[in-house]
Amino acid sequence: MSRPVSDAHAASYRARQVPAPTEVVDGVWAIPVPLHGSALRYVTVFLIATSDGPVLVDAGYDHPSCWTSFQRSVASVGHRVEAITTVLLTHNHPDHVGFAARLREVSGARIVMGAADDFATLHRTRGGFLTQLRAALDLTGAPPEVVAAMYADAVAVAVHHEDLRLDVALTGDTAFRFGDVTIHAVPTPGHTYGHTVYLDSRGLVFTGDTMMPEGPTQLAIVSRPDDDPAGDLFRSLARIADLGATVACPAHQYPYGDVAGRARELAAFHRGEVDRVRELAALHQGGVERELAALHQGEVDRELADGAATAWQLAQRLTWKKPWGELGRGTRRFSLVHTLALLRNATRPDR
């Protein structure tokens, strides 16, 4: 477990409460935005005061209550929403890009995000979220009725419009100068393919969803043959560990220290997951081969002949917060898609 910058902020998170706005260092505010009706409870956006005006990292969820709460919190720490000059988005999930367009309308702020997470690009190259999810679920080997039910659940809650237009689409390391503050954008795929962290010249790194102080990282959806989000994450965590940052500011939970140590800890955890998947897949393959050998003659069962373990089979044997049979269907969907990403890395021919 990582060392929190603010004990009060961490205590609120662990008590399942929404923290008050917290000054992480002089001029950098963590502003929790409540997510009504969500198990996450809140997402944290960060306001960075600079001599060129305030800069925002991430933009909450597109809901009137989120926008109202955000406006009140910004005013409570002595700033004006209308003065925000730039919105630096870590990635394209709805709890991060939510009110970015509304903020641009109010303040004229430019919107920045990794090009690989640009919605227009995604729609051309991968399809929208639901298209990608359906492709991933089909790849897991889950029974058709399970795939259909999981997909239907996702459709019911997919209220994300995916039409945000960027002012700056990042294609690599980029430095932004905001008066007395320099912020470096660093590509860190793994949670999404265009995920970006932002390194403040004072030693803070805004990590989005790549690296929380507690728990694992949810891997990106596998929907194309060349996708390897686990491999992407390992490279990204190594990159973060080498940035020299002293404080991590994630979008969930709470800001914390020992950034490099946490990056290494998280990488070790996910490598352990990949190793476990590889071990289970090998045991499955060995069992199939023994059954095939025992048949000797007659028609070979096609499922046995195929041999390779599926993400659906493996997910039920992995360790989650609860036993597989006790997980809700939504949690099973996340776990299943995560297992598919682990399996993709575990079976790469270059490993």
- Summarised one tens digit per residue, pLDDT across range 255-302 is 999 999 999 999 999 999 999 999 998 887 665 445 445 544 445 444
Summarize pLDDT for 11-27 with one digit per residue, the tens. Answer: 888 988 889 999 999 99
Token pair recorded at residue 153: 């659940």
Ramachandran angles phi, psi of 289, nearest 5°: -65, -35
CA distance 67 to 42: 13
- Helix axis angle for 259-295 and 329-346, nearest 10°, is 80
Residue ending a domain, among 246, 268, 290, is 268
pLDDT value, residue 1? 54
40 and 170 fall within a common domain: yes
In a domain, 207, yes or no: yes
pTM over 0.85: yes
Question: What per-residue confidence (pLDDT) applies to 155?
Answer: 85
H-assigned helices in 158-194: none
**Segments in the chain below pLDDT 50:** 288-289, 291-292, 295-298, 300-305
2 found inside a domain = no
Pairing of strands 168-170, 22-25: unpaired
Distance of alpha carbon 90 from alpha carbon 113, whole angstroms: 6
Predicted local confidence at residue 68, as pLDDT: 95
Whether residue 183 sits in one domain with residue 94: yes
* Residue 152 maps to a domain: no
Answer yes or no: do 48 and 184 share one domain.
yes
| CA distance linking residue 14 with residue 213, whole number of Å | 12
Yes or no: say if 77 and 67 are a contact pair by the CB < 8 Å rule.
no
* Six-digit token string for 71: 């406006």
**Cα dihedral 231→237→242→245 (10° resolution):** 160
Residues 72, 183, single domain; the answer is yes
Q: Structural domain tally of the chain?
A: 2
Would residue 115 count as lying in a domain?
Answer: yes
Q: What angle in degrees, to the nearest 10, is found between the helix axes of 229-241 and 259-295?
A: 160
* Number of other residues whose CB lies within 10 A of the CB of residue 306: 11
Structure tokens at 270: 């996910």
289 and 179 inside one domain: no
d(CA 288, CA 283): 9
Residue 114's Cα: distance from chain center in Å?
14
SS3 of residue 169 by DSSP: strand
If asked whether residues 73 and 12 sit together in one domain, one would say yes
Bridge partners of 185, per DSSP, are 174, 198
CA pair distance 230, 281, nearest whole angstrom: 17
pLDDT value, residue 290: 54
Domain termination site, one of 202, 235, 268 = 268
Domain region containing 43:
7-128+161-268
Report how far residue 236's alpha carbon sits from residue 242's, in angstroms, rounded to the nearest whole number: 10
Fill in the amino acid letter for 73: S
pLDDT value of residue 80: 96
* Six-digit token string for 112: 């920045």
In a domain, 141, yes or no: no
> How confident is the model at residue 192, as a pLDDT?
97
